[in-house]
Chain A
Amino acid sequence: MILTKAQYEEIAQCLVSVPPTRQSLRKLKQRFPSQSQATLLSIFSQEYQKHIKRTHAKHHTSEAIESYYQRYLNGVVKNGAAPVLLDLANEVDYAPSLMARLILERFLQEHEETAPSKSVINSMLRDPSQIPDGVLANQVYQCIVNDCCYGPLVDCIKHAIGHEHEVLLRDLLLEKNLSFLDEDQLRAKGYDKTPDFILQVPVAVEGHIIHWIESKASFGDECSHHAYLHDQFWSYWNRDGISQCCSGWCGTPGLSNSSASASQSAGITGVRKHFLPGILMKCVCK
């Protein structure tokens, strides 16, 4: 299913400064019943990440951290069971997981006197039981399970989606009887950077020759499209001398003709309908 650019923009419009919570997502689903939850979540997540990227710095000034921490402490003293941290995050328009990390870091600094290492923090976020302070542990946990755009759980979901879609793509290729080499085989042959699949016999889809397919478990908006183009696809191009095709996860703005590069987006018809709803292939042909 291809999302038109207009649809995409409409969705993106609704997501301006919405907290990344369960409730927001539910509202979004009600608003766009035709889109799958996965698609919406993916767009939501990406839009929100863009938003956070823009505002990230302002939450990381030492004054901001200090004031958040004080507010947290005050709130907890008043009522330890109330969702202090979550509310704080929503109020200042910051991702709850990131807010939890911020406070946790500050807390550990205060209590252990040495700056905690990143891995310690990460492991505490993954398993809040390790946090020495029971109240903070609960607060952090609450932030993490309520955040649908950041946090270890969300990361794991994304990773799982990526893996699943590689498997799906492989099955699909097998089903379509397309001969291919997958990443492991390519690595065994000595390629250092490889796409997920190289088609041993190229196929043409909607007039574009597809040599390889990269499965990207995320929504293919222009921004990510360009970033991936930059980071990965050119190196495939340089090394394999082949044109490009990647599969987006949850749809792609149909005609991103505003792309500065010579890339075009197109669905792969034969492949598309067998995918889970909302899964699209995006191909970039050069």
Chain B
Amino acid sequence: MAAVLESLLREEVSVAAVVRWIAHSTRGSEDNPGEAAALSSLRPLRKEFVPFLLNFLREQSSRVLPQGPPTPAKAPGASAALPGRPGGPSRGSRGARSQLFPPTEAASTAAEAPLARRGGRRRGPGPARERGGRGLEEGVSGENLPGAGGRRLRGSGSPSRPSLTLSDPPNLSNLEEFPPVGSVPPGPAGRTKPSRRINPTPVSEERSLSKPKTCFTSPPISCVPSSQPSALDTSPWGLGLPPGCRSLQEEREMLRKERSKQLQQSPTPTCPTPELGSPLPSRAGSLTDEPADPARVSSRQRLELVALVYSSCIAENLVPNLFLELFFVFQLLTARRMVTAKDSDPELSPGVLDSLESPLFQSIHDCVFFAVQVLECHFQVLSNLDKGTLKLLAENERLLCFSPALQGRLRAAYEGSVAKVSLAMPPSAQAVSFQPETDNRANFSSDRAFHTFKKQRDVFYEVLREWEDHHEEPGWDFEKGLGSRIRAMMGQLSAACSHSHFVRLFQKQLLQMCQSPGGAGGTVLGEAPDVLSMLGADKLGRLWRLQERLMAPQSSGGPCPPPTFPGCQGFFRDFILSASSFQFNQHLMDSLSLKIRELNGLALPQHEPSDEDGESDVDWQGERRQFAVVLLSLRLLAKFLGFVAFLPYRGPEPPPTGELQDSILALRSQVPPVLDVRTLLQRGLQARRAVLTVPWLVEFLSFADHVVPLLDYYRDIFILLLRLHRSLVLSQESEGKMCFLNKLLLLAVLGWLFQIPTVPEDLFFLEEGPSDAFEVDTVAPEHGLDAAPVVDQQLLYTCCPYIGELRKLLALWVSGSSGRSGGFMRKITPTTTTGLGAQPSQTSQGLQARLAQAFFHNQPPSLRRTVEFVAERIGSNCVKHIKATLVADLVRQAESLLQEQLVTQGEEGGDPAQLLEILCSQLCPHGAQALALGREFCQRKSPGAVQALLPEETPAAVLSSAENIAVGLATEKACAWLSANITALIRREVKAAVSRTLRAQGPEPAARGERRGCSRACEHHAPLPSHLISEIKDVLSLAVGPRDPDEGVSPEHLEQLLGQLGQTLRCRQFLCPPAEQHLAKCSVELASLLVADQIPILGPPAQYRLERGQARRLLHMLLSLWKEDFQGPVPLQLLLSPRNVGLLADTRPREWDLLLFLLRELVEKGLMGRMEIEACLGSLHQAQWPGDFAEELATLSNLFLAEPPLPEPQLRACELVQPNRGTVLAQS
């Protein structure tokens, strides 16, 4: 492994090649041969590289950051990283090393341990106490070590010893040899979690007092630590454990250590050493921060290379947990001080010059440089963090110092960010669930059963209230206080149906308390605030923020906390435990499974992909909100389902091994899963709904016991999840694929799952990554839920509160360095003096909000739904209304302004961008009216809608209250959107209008304007063009022949036809350009036939030919049609085409006068120019004609040419003499 890194550092292979090498097992085609060769020899180690890299970095940083906050938990597969120790190499690299140099190693480790592993795990009361003491010290200095349980420093200082036993790749899939537990290194704080480190006074609703607080009281203010982990400690399967090791993880670790001791007979005293934590460095470190200076970075190039590889691994999702790595990087960024590593490490002897021999991070400067390098590669992720984190990042002076460019981008991202996230815990608003439709007598078998149910209900709520009142009191214990009462109540539930009723109640109450949009909605669904938060205005929000800062748990337990039951959830968990009723659990599982299936299959509305413009944002809010509600409900239910389902299998005992394990596996594998999650997952992936399915599945799996991941059924699931994880490469964004934040959510929850202690950590690295892209054959429409932007930062942070650790880390840095830099923690001033006037005071606003809530509580739920619905729709319509009225008006103004501009500036007046700027600067200020208009619109529309939707018997007072609330909500919603977006909207519309106008102005205005429609009076009764074409075609075919002797047309028919043609051309309704073209052509052909006298006329043989006068009349009609009615070009030159002129040649005697007449008329009407006709006549001469015809043609053209250019006065005369001349001509 190290060989790879070394060859990288020696620049033998490129970073890209290494990443390709890791990610795709065999594909090496793009690599140059040298690289490929270098890497292919190391092929067996491919999957061990990432764990090696991660551990390497942790180790390196451990020298620098000895007392930093917890290093990410569960560093992956230490065992895999340094193989060669088939007996459960619990100590990772150290273990491996000890094989090579056992004596020195042990000694050196022991010596270093205190230095490097301070903050490591603590075990047992002794060290713990010590630690507590230190905690106090640190508290004084403002140092926060929330669980400084260090990095997985398996090798305190052991970065060297590269590539040990490459020749003997271990059989990693052998769980006996490499039991999942065994792979966890011993010191790893990540596992012990902050809870171990500091066990603080919880500020949350956690029932922390129920557990013994041996030490770690009074944590420093700056590090109010999490209370949740402690809640976990008291978790059910931990009950009855000795107080020293309450949590499962700790238990596991202890066991592991025991085992590793036994197996290895390792001379190294694994447990106590780390805890000895020498206080000196920490004190020093906590007192002063070392400034970081970019100029003093040592071995820049090496750091860059490693950072690049590391970033690439993160980007390719080769690391198990994205946020864990980010956390680590943030730690490096905010490292306070370098421990003056008096590394007496023998490995650092000057003789060794290998690139891996010298420590990677030799100073704070190196750490920060490395961190900034990595962060630069992950700007996209950073920019999607919440606004608070962005702000802290943007204001981080180290970042500014090391990479002003990144800082600039972050600042821009911060300024553009709207992702305000509130991490406040949902208040345990205690609405009582009462469902009249199910909780009535009709649903019970007997009066007695109903009565019992009612009594149980009462008991349940009594218990609940008692819990609410007392659970925060010190010394109160759930089991002691309520256990017997709960069991007594459960005892009364005899009939099976009573159980199901009670379970329904339980589940409803669970959803309502832990997830109800009423209680927590406002904060949970930040962007789409609910009644409460919307009613409260600015000031109230400020009050809440302050409350949040005071109340919110400051730490949720490091970047990878174990699954917990925060807040009210604790009650339900304890209830289940105390009740310890088999029937109840079974019914609960049934009910939860059903509800999960139902919610998971819920068809969430999907947007049409077409209208993704601004205003649909309004609608999106609603959808996001709905999605969030469904997702959070699912997660809650799945969590409890997992908890109950795996409860019988969890316990303090260590995971079984060997034969015992096999027999357990055999036993368990035949038990059908409580809910067919595999199928649900597969379907979810197929239907592109992973963003809904995976988060709750993760919650479910997080409660699995150790055996579960080994079962085939669940192993499939894990493999699917692993593949999904690998496929979610954040940088690949494409149409129809998953949205960025959706991916981020999935990565966060999956990464968290992979760090859960019960999930074997080798699982992540063992599974062969998807060699091909992970493609599920989707059966879903192209735009599944995954592609819809349903996740926002609020939901992300609500689902994954541990992401907030990043922010805390940064905040800690700021507060720690506040003395120097002035600090950025802003004070929240909840009261103002300005609000004295017309504005209602905050208390009254808050009161108003509470009143509204109380109002809804007293009314049927439908009322609330109605009001919310009305507010939602009216708000949305209001935006559309503004768009259609105000914005449309402004656009019209813009158009007229633009016209003026164009007139004054002439044809090419300025460039469009400039014009647009001018217009926008004039018009955008008008957008301010939008708010007033919007308010007025909501005021006007909402009451009617509420009235219409509520039942008629609604009392007037209730109605008017509901109306007022609806108006308020709608206004709030619309105004929020309008004030944020109106300028952009106006801009966009004006831009579209400008480009439209300019385009219309630009090319061929003539062609555009000239087309006329039919006159207003036209009733569209004209014959259809198709009919006319057909008729004319008939005449043409008659004329061209062959025809029967009795066929022919009457002159009247011809006249009528031309008349109809005129009508049709004047009524444009049915005319399409091609039809008009053909009509024009046919009319020309018809004229030619008329001129050549080729049209067979019905009637007596004497009149077989058309009378001359009639022919002229018809030609006149045609001329006027061409002149007046045709709007397209008429191919008049066809009249003089050889073919049509040739028609004359066939007639005997030849009649030239009509042609001459036609030509003159053409010229006179301006249909053809003289020159044009001359040219046509000229070209006629070139054709081959019979001798006499050619002569006559020449005479005709001479005759035509001889006429004066202005024939107006002579024409009549000419016309008079024409027949004679024509006949003369013909006869000659």
A interface residues, Cβ below 8 angstroms from B:
22-23, 41, 81, 83, 86, 127-129, 134, 137-138, 141-142, 145-146, 152-153, 156-161, 163-164, 167-168, 171, 189-190
Inter-chain CA distance A8–B210, complex, in Å, is 91
Residues of B989-1037 whose CB lies within 8 A of A: 1020, 1024-1026, 1029-1030, 1033-1034, 1036-1037
Residue with the greatest number of chain B CB neighbours at <10 A, chosen from A127, A145, A161, A167: A145
**Given known contacts A129-B1138, A138-B1139, is B1037 in contact with A159 (CB within 8 Å)?**
no
Contacting pair A127 B1081 (CB below 8 A): yes
Interface core residue of B1036, B1037, B1069 (most chain A CB under 10 Å): B1037
Q: How far is the CA of A171 from the CA of B1069 in the complex (A)?
A: 10
Q: Which residues of B contact A (CB under 8 A)?
A: 610, 1020, 1024-1026, 1029-1030, 1033-1034, 1036-1038, 1040-1042, 1044, 1069-1070, 1072, 1074-1075, 1077-1078, 1081-1082, 1131, 1134, 1137-1140, 1142, 1146, 1183-1184
Given contacts A86-B1042, A146-B1037, A189-B610, contact A129 B1075 (CB under 8 A): no
Docked pose: A203 CA to B607 CA in angstroms: 25
B1033, B1036, B1075 — which one has the most chain A CB atoms within 10 A of its CB? B1033
Closest A-B pairs by Cβ, 7 of them = A129-B1137, A160-B1026, A160-B1075, A145-B1037, A156-B1078, A163-B1072, A161-B1026
A185 to chain B, nearest CB (A): 13
Known: A156-B1077, A160-B1070, A161-B1024. 5 other contacts (CB 8 A): A83-B1042, A127-B1081, A134-B1138, A145-B1033, A168-B1070
Contacts of B1081 in A (CB 8 A): 127
Interchain Cβ contacts within 8 Å, total number: 80
Q: Which residues of B contact A164 (CB under 8 A)?
A: 1024-1026, 1070
How far apart are the CA atoms of A142 and B1094 in the complex, in Å? 13
B231 to nearest A CB, angstroms? 49
Residues of chain B contacted by A138 (CB below 8 angstroms): 1040, 1139, 1142
7 A-B interface contacts by CB (under 8 A): A83-B1041, A129-B1140, A134-B1183, A160-B1026, A160-B1029, A160-B1075, A163-B1072
Name the B residues within 8 Å of A152 (CB-CB).
1078
With a cutoff of 8 Å between Cβ atoms, the chain A residues found around residue B1146 in the complex are 81
Q: In the assembly, what is the distance between CA of A167 and CA of B1037, in Å?
A: 29
B1139 touches A129 (CB 8 A): yes
Contacts of A41 in B (CB 8 A): 1030
Q: Which residue of A lies closest to B1032 (CB)?
A: A153
Chain B residue, CB-CB nearest to A140: B1139
Indicate if the CB atoms of B1029 and A157 lie closer than 8 Å.
yes
- State A137–B1139 Cα separation when bound (angstroms): 7
Compute how far the CA of A129 lies from the CA of B1034 in the bound complex, rounded to whole angstroms.
20
Q: Which residues of chain A are near B1041, meaning CB under 8 Å? A: 83, 142
**Nearest chain B CB to A26 CB, angstrom units:** 9
Q: Which residue of A lies closest to B1044 (CB)?
A: A23
Also in contact, A153 and B1033, with CB within 8 A (given A141-B1040, A160-B1024, A160-B1025): yes
* Secondary structure of the A contact surface, majority rule: helix
Residues of A with C-beta under 8 A to B1140? 129
What's the minimum C-beta distance from A215 to chain B, rounded to whole angstroms?
13
A174 to chain B, nearest CB (A): 12
In the complex, the answer to whether B1025 meets A141 with C-beta atoms within 8 Å is no
Q: Which residues of B contact A158 (CB under 8 A)?
A: 1026
Task: Provide the residues of chain A in CB contact with B1030, threshold 8 Å.
Answer: 41, 157
Give complex CA distance A129, B1143 in Å: 12
Candidate in A83, A161, A190 with the most chain B CB atoms within 10 angstroms: A161
Judge whether A156 and B1074 touch: CB under 8 Å. yes
Chain B minimum-CB-distance residue to A83? B1042
In contact, B1033 and A159 (Cβ under 8 angstroms) = no
In angstroms, Cα B1019 to Cα A171, docked, is 12
User: Which residues from B are CB-within-8-Å of A134?
Assistant: 1138-1139, 1142, 1183-1184
Contact A157 B1026, beta carbon cutoff 8 Å: yes
- Chain A residues within an 8 Å CB radius of B1137: 129
Chain A nearest CB, measured from B417 CB (Å): 30
Minimum CB–CB distance from A20 to chain B (whole Å) comes to 12
Q: Are B1037's CB and A160's CB within 8 A?
A: no
Which single residue of chain A is at the shortest CB-CB distance from B1040?
Answer: A142
A138 to B1036 CA separation, bound complex (whole angstroms): 12
Q: How far is the CB of A154 from chain B (nearest CB, A)?
A: 8
Contact across chains for A22 and B1034 when beta carbons are under 8 A apart? yes
Q: Which of B1024, B1029, B1044 contacts A156 (CB 8 A)?
A: B1029
Report the separation of the CA atoms of residues A80 and B118 in the bound assembly, to the nearest whole angstrom. Answer: 113
B residues less than 8 Å from A142 (CB atoms): 1040-1041
Give B557 Cβ to nearest chain A Cβ, in Å. Answer: 48
Residues of A within 8 A of B1033 (CB): 145, 153, 157
Specify which chain A residues have a CB less than 8 angstroms from the CB of B1029 in the assembled complex: 153, 156-157, 160
Bound complex: CA A164 to CA B1072 (Å): 8
* A146–B1142 alpha-carbon span in the complex (Å): 20
- Bound Cα distance from A127 to B1036, whole angstroms: 14
A155 nearest CB across to chain B (Å): 9
Among candidates B610, B1034, B1184, residue contacting A190 with C-beta atoms closer than 8 Å = B610
Question: What is the distance, in angstroms, from B1130's C-beta to the closest C-beta of chain A?
Answer: 13
Residue on A nearest B1133 in the bound complex, by CB:
A129
Q: Which residues of A contact B1037 (CB under 8 A)?
A: 22, 145-146
Chain B residue at minimum C-beta to C-beta distance from A163: B1072
User: What is the bound-complex CA distance between A180 and B70, given in angstroms?
Assistant: 64
B1072 near A160 (CB under 8 angstroms)?
yes
Q: Across the interface, which residues of B come within 8 angstroms of A189, CB to CB?
A: 610
Q: A134-B1139, A153-B1029, A157-B1026 known; A163 and B1040 CB under 8 Å?
A: no
When chains A and B are docked, how far (Å) is the Cα of A152 from the Cα of B1029? 11
Q: Which residues of B contact A190 (CB under 8 A)?
A: 610
Given A22-B1037, A164-B1025, A128-B1075 contact (CB < 8 Å): no
A83 to B1037, CA, bound (A): 12
**Given the complex of chains A and B, what is the CA–CA distance between A134 and B1185 in angstroms?**
10
Chain A residue with Cβ nearest B1042: A83
Which of B1024, B1029, B1077, B1131 has the most chain A CB within a 10 Å cutoff?
B1024
CA distance A7 to B1184 in the complex (A): 54
Query: Is there an interface contact between B1040 and A145, defined as CB atoms closer than 8 Å?
Result: yes
| Cβ–Cβ contact A141 & B1139, under 8 A | yes
Q: Is the CB of A128 within 8 A of B1042?
A: no
Please measure, in the bound complex, the distance between the C-alpha atom of A134 and the C-alpha atom of B1044, giving whole angstroms: 25
Instruction: Judge whether A167 and B1070 touch: CB under 8 Å.
Output: yes
A164 to B1022, CA, bound (A): 12
Q: How far is the CB of A177 from chain B (nearest CB, A)?
A: 18
* B1075 pairs with A156, CB closer than 8 A: yes
The residue that A146 contacts in the complex, of B1040, B1077, B1138, with Cβ under 8 A, is B1040
Contacts of B1024 in A (CB 8 A): 160-161, 164
**Shortest CB distance A212–B (Å):** 17
Q: Are A167 and B1139 in contact (CB under 8 A)?
A: no
Could you tell me the distance between the alpha carbons of A128 and B1131 in the complex, rounded to whole angstroms? 13
CB-CB under 8 A from B1075, the residues of chain A are 156, 159-160, 163
A131–B1029 alpha-carbon span in the complex (Å):
23
Complex Cα distance, B945 from A279, in Å, reads 46
Give the docked Cα–Cα distance between A153 and B1081 (Å). Answer: 10
Give the complex CA separation of A171 and B1184 in angstroms. 54
Min CB gap A84→B, angstroms:
11
Measured between beta carbons, the chain A residues less than 8 angstroms from B1138 are 129, 134
Tell me the smallest distance from the CB of A256 to a CB of chain B, in Å.
26
Give the residue name and chain of the A residue nearest to B610 (CB): A190
User: Which residues of B are found within 8 Å of A156, using beta-carbon distances?
Assistant: 1029, 1074-1075, 1077-1078
In the complex, what distance in Å separates the CA atom of A91 from the CA atom of B1038? 20
CB-CB < 8 A to A171: which residues of B?
Answer: 1020
Q: Which residues of B contact A129 (CB under 8 A)?
A: 1134, 1137-1140
**Minimum CB–CB distance for B1065 against chain A, Å:** 13
Across the interface, which residues of A come within 8 angstroms of B1044, CB to CB? 23
Residues of A within 8 Å of B1025, CB to CB, are 160, 164
- Please give, as numbers and ranges, the residues of chain B lying within 8 Å of A22 by CB-CB distance: 1034, 1037-1038
Residues of B within 8 A of A137 (CB): 1139
Q: Compute how far the CA of A137 lies from the CA of B1183 in the bound complex, rounded to whole angstroms.
A: 14
